[in-house]
C-alpha cells in the first residue's frame, strides 16, 4: 500500500532544480511563498481567498507538520 501511495502522489519534496507543485507546496515552510506559488499556478484565483484557505488548512490539517 505504501508503494502505491507514493506512486500516486509522487514525492513530498521536489527533485533538485524543480519548483514545488501540488501537494509539495504544503511543505515549503514559508506561508508567503506558498501563497505566491499557488497564485502563480492559477492566475484566476484571488490572493486573499488563497490566503484564507491556506490559513484554514494549516490550522486544521495536522498532517502537514509530519515532515
Could you read off the pLDDT of 1-54 as tens digits, one per residue? 455 544 555 666 666 777 766 666 666 677 888 888 888 878 888 999 989 988
Q: What is the per-residue pLDDT for 59? A: 84
List the end-to-end C-alpha distance of the chain, in Å, as a whole number: 19
In the chain, domain spans = 1-65
> What's the pTM?
0.57
> What grid cell was written down for 16?
533538485
Q: Which residue has the cell 514545488?
A: 20
Amino acid at each position: 500500500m505504501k508503494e502505491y501511495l507514493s506512486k500516486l502522489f509522487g514525492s513530498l519534496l521536489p527533485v533538485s532544480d524543480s519548483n514545488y507543485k501540488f501537494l509539495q507546496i504544503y511543505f515549503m515552510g514559508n506561508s508567503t511563498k506558498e501563497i505566491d506559488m499557488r497564485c502563480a499556478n492559477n492566475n484566476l484565483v484571488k490572493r486573499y481567498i488563497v490566503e484564507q484557505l491556506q490559513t484554514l488548512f494549516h490550522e486544521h490539517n495536522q498532517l502537514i507538520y509530519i515532515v
